[in-house]
Structure 1
């Protein structure tokens, strides 16, 4: 079946794109579209053209797998030019999302109509490039510079209502009437002698404020620091106001090729594909069909339990939360309501959606009320004895085919499963805090976890909007196991002469949102600290004893003001110096380069060990964990891709220079000139 079909409706030629799942403009589609445009041009009986699509979206844009390869004609820019140069009006009927090349195709049309659910955007910046088929030149001519800049530079789409307000859509019609309304609109404009042509418009760019670019750069400086694509996006839009259209297009193409061949775009494309690959379980039998999940039980109404519950409530699942005491239950439900209300105030949910989500929630103080749940997730204190007690109770209560999941972030899932009579129904579901926001979900496969349970967990992750990564059983799984190596080095660096602010700055300069000591202060230094068993054995213990427990107490590794702005602490420096003196560790100046190597290289090495042991299926899964769960800067691709980029021989040499462990896998790949991500 052809991916592009044409049909005459009187004097209107309707061109329909049907290339599921996202109607991408692949080589085949571009050829067929070009042929349709040529047919319209040569047929005197055709007075107007409608371009529409089947499915739930107009188009997700270009075929990303073609990026970085030799161009195949007609290219997308050539196709759009042919549409724009047609001497008959063309109407784009946007049935849903129009992104990237889909938006650029629409910009090449004379008119655009959509439905209320239509979203239009240019997300190329999110994979490290800029719109390369005229988007940076046509969009500001259509909507103006002030409106075009955020669309292009952030990559975030605009709603149909917004698009109509800024001139990107001419009309919004009912979804069931879109095809008929588009044809009627095409007939309406067919008799006109002139039609708007995006590339020839100058009215909107002539009216722009000359200071808009400087102001935009200053406002977004922190968020865009070190990123190549946003800088080029801004420059390309600025050139649209200074050059002719043809000259601007030439610069856009130059910038596009520069970016697409650069390390940042390669890294971001790696992240894009890695997330999709992570959802696949190697060796999973084809008959492992996901179990139906209708009702979910959550044990624990604390921060984590409440956050986990919100994922399922928002997706329409019935959820029962069980707690030991009514006060804790009421507090947890209150926080859920508060979080939903805050989301509604920001316009991300309607009041109706909030009430619908809360309507799926029930609460109990009795485990017996979990008996009819299809999935039960415990989110109790991270202590093996408590976990085992919970699973023993669940084993006696849950129905035979129910999945029993632990939200443990470190503990042995096999040991937990062994205390039940059905270990094949036990799986780890490690959510990340705040669980209602963080995208990552580590799905921990026990030795006896059934293929069907694994298939269900991965399928469920998609339905609640998570990026799921499979991990085997080990202490800390993928993410926390690697994090521990970084934390060890951060602590050792303090003893040798570095200070928290210097260590943190090295990581934030690299692109992390915060460093290890900032992160510790945010989480709370007293996590896992028992004031009844204190021994003053570590810097962290002493800080807790002195009431320095992080941001919540106004002081931790840093001092905080009333706005939680941090400054280095003389008291902390004195505590560190005292510990260093007692240990006999010589204090010295430590370079930023050494700090970066000692924090990041051991993580790469631990990732190699994780691959050696089969804990992770693939190196790209490790990258997915770190980008989505720990703030690793996406434009470097994740720890394993970053190591590939700088060269595994460099990582090996750095580890040996600092006297650190080297995995056999890393050593072998470095010797052969190989990479982790083939």
Structure 2
């Protein structure tokens, strides 16, 4: 083994007549400008060195290459560009083998595709996830992948952004061989030596023939185009990916590369790319709460869940999926059985779908125990309460937890609205209390609001963030107020929707306009899905403290008074066929709306979809700014992440605060002031927005680390 050149990010070592080129740019071997430059130098040296017969390209540390350097996201990269590096590797006159461990994602996989042969350890992961950032694989991926594995498989990989394992990659033809051990260097060298012994040529992916069946390739492209138009109609890059694969079928390789580059630059200029990149960075930034910097999390090895209803069972599943033992507490044996059955039902579905074996299900459920006595929680490190949303009930639960739980146990409430400071003050150890607001279904939804009461110790908050990581949730730190971040803002923009409904827009038009904006559902569909009685109970709870001067629309109350609570009762704002989830407009609801307009003395007017969305978004943005102004959210990006992950806000728009900057904060303020002419109490501009507009600043300027 002879060291060839010293370098920080690219190591070159000669093993016999094989030059090993190792990418060493921790933590994931991102393909930075320096890495790209030194890769070019390494391959130039390999071509010129008569003692080198082949090149083995590998990654140091835990990965082959994790893709682009995130510091270059959203920018034109410094030269040399990765497409040029990939083309140089492919053009090498000596066989180039990529030996892959860890991950080969995005540009990392494109680099491997440019090699002539590919071998991977069994645990390696592959993917082209650029679509999740509003981009397409722009370094030859859209041209090489279809030629190597066919149009259908390549389109599935690129349009889904999903990762696949070595077994699936081998079956597709993405890699040539699965290594016999996890020693990527030894197996890579052995494979390269076998190729040299067989006089294997420099086999270029550009010459692969998986697109030879033009009829089936064209059919796969058209099917993908139709599917993208249906499922991702709001997004820009999926259709550009389809266009690029069509170019791979119809153009020469070099012309296809040029077309890919044009399409890539179009994606780079898209506002959607900016929104998706913002969401990407925001999700990483929310992990950085002040408490996580100054305190270490407490150890969590045993967890209790109070309540076996839909939410409690979902929380239990999330904990079990993370490998934690869970003790469920219910008030009686019948309720405990129902809770256990709800948990088991989740795993039964996984078994039915072939995603879990019966043995794996049994192993998971072996970690679930139940009791009707709080004494069973005496060894719990963390207890999460998920009972009825009533302060007296919550305090009674916490009194029992205060009695039985060991000192140092974290006591969490899953309340959606209630004052956690009041709950904490009701027991002898308020420093151990935190809010963990899960979103339903708790085992599926990614958002977890970590609500920080005034007396909570820093290590309790750090523990909550550490738990979120174990549960693969996206945690957002929130302060204590009615509704925290998400539900507080929701109450305002839902009120704006109610105002428009009473003023003349139908709930069905409002829902359609919101869906066309990019949300999966409109506010009235969401109400029917969640259950109209949930919102009704909240409104009744708030009635005593509601400002009598504030406008209050009673239409939803009239619907609930008839027992129409949405999907679970077969009708709410919509009519549902038996067991159906897709509602139809209800003429009786429209009659109720007309009666309420008449009672309120309102002459209905028409609304354009544009005005609906301007009002809807202005209400959301204004209250989101208030949440930041009051310190309930640390930064605007915390509001963005909350709405992208918990409320269906279209990810490609980045979040409501990012959207406000995109359309111009001054324009949003102008809308608020225009709307305030009719209702100055509801449309009171946030002091934060007024201040930022006066200074010519953006909400993004406040997105510094907490």
Aligned to 2:695: 672
Aligned to 1:248: 256
Cα contact 1:67–1:260 (8 A) shared by 2: no
Distance 1:348 1:20 in 2: 33
Aligned to 1:72: 78
List aligned pairs for 1:397-476, cutoff 5 A.
Answer: 397-476=404-483
Distance 1:155 1:444 in 2: 32
List aligned pairs for 1:458-607, cutoff 5 A.
Answer: 458-527=465-534, 529=536, 538-562=554-578, 563-607=580-624
1:355 CA displacement: 2.6
Aligned to 1:15: 21
| SS class of match (1:526) | helix
1:175 CA displacement: 3.9
List aligned pairs for 1:27-106, cutoff 5 A.
Answer: 27-106=33-112
Cα contact 1:145–1:208 (8 A) shared by 2: no
Aligned to 1:238: 246
Distance 1:442 1:193 in 2: 56
The reply to whether residue 188 of structure 1 matches residue 211 of structure 2 is no
The reply to whether residue 644 of structure 1 matches residue 644 of structure 2 is no
Return structure 1 stretches of 4+ with deviation > 6 angstroms: 533-537
After superposition, what is the alpha-carbon deviation per residue over 1:547-590, rounded to whole angstroms, capped at 9, x for unaligned? 42211222111112244332111110011111111111111112
Q: TM-score, normalised by structure 1?
A: 0.96
Aligned to 1:279: 287
Distance 1:28 1:358 in 2: 50
Distance 1:529 1:492 in 2: 17
Q: Which moved more, 1:297-306 or 1:183-192?
A: 183-192
List aligned pairs for 1:253-268, cutoff 5 A.
Answer: 253-268=261-276
| SS class of match (2:437) | strand
Aligned to 2:548: none
Cα contact 1:123–1:154 (8 A) shared by 2: yes
1:347 CA displacement: 4.0
Question: Which ranges in structure 1 are unaligned for 5 or more consecutive residues?
Answer: none
Distance 1:297 1:375 in 2: 6
User: For residues 286 and 636 of structure 1, do their structure 2 counterparts lie closer, same or farther at Cα, with a shift above 3 Å needed?
Assistant: closer
1:626 CA displacement: 0.3
Cα contact 2:383–2:411 (8 A) shared by 1: yes
After superposition, what is the alpha-carbon deviation per residue over 1:33-85, rounded to whole angstroms, capped at 9, x for unaligned? 22322232222222112112233332210112213334322221122112111
Alignment root-mean-square deviation, CA: 2.0
Distance 1:41 1:206 in 2: 35
The reply to whether residue 160 of structure 1 matches residue 183 of structure 2 is no
2:327 maps to which of 300, 305, 320 = 320
The reply to whether residue 228 of structure 1 matches residue 242 of structure 2 is no
Q: Which moved more, 1:462-471 or 1:343-352?
A: 343-352
Distance 2:612 2:210 in 1: 53
2:398 maps to which of 391, 394, 400 = 391
1:3 maps to which of 5, 9, 12 = 9
Q: TM-score, normalised by structure 2?
A: 0.92
User: For residues 97 and 382 of structure 1, do their structure 2 counterparts lie closer, same or farther at Cα, with a shift above 3 Å needed?
Assistant: same
Cα contact 1:392–1:419 (8 A) shared by 2: yes
Aligned to 1:625: 642
Distance 1:596 1:537 in 2: 19
1:159 CA displacement: 2.5
| SS class of match (2:472) | coil
After superposition, what is the alpha-carbon deviation per residue over 1:258-310, rounded to whole angstroms, capped at 9, x for unaligned? 2112210011000000000001013x375411111111111011111111111
Distance 1:492 1:297 in 2: 43
Distance 2:512 2:662 in 1: 22
Distance 1:550 1:566 in 2: 9
User: For residues 355 and 20 of structure 1, do their structure 2 counterparts lie closer, same or farther at Cα, with a shift above 3 Å needed?
Assistant: farther
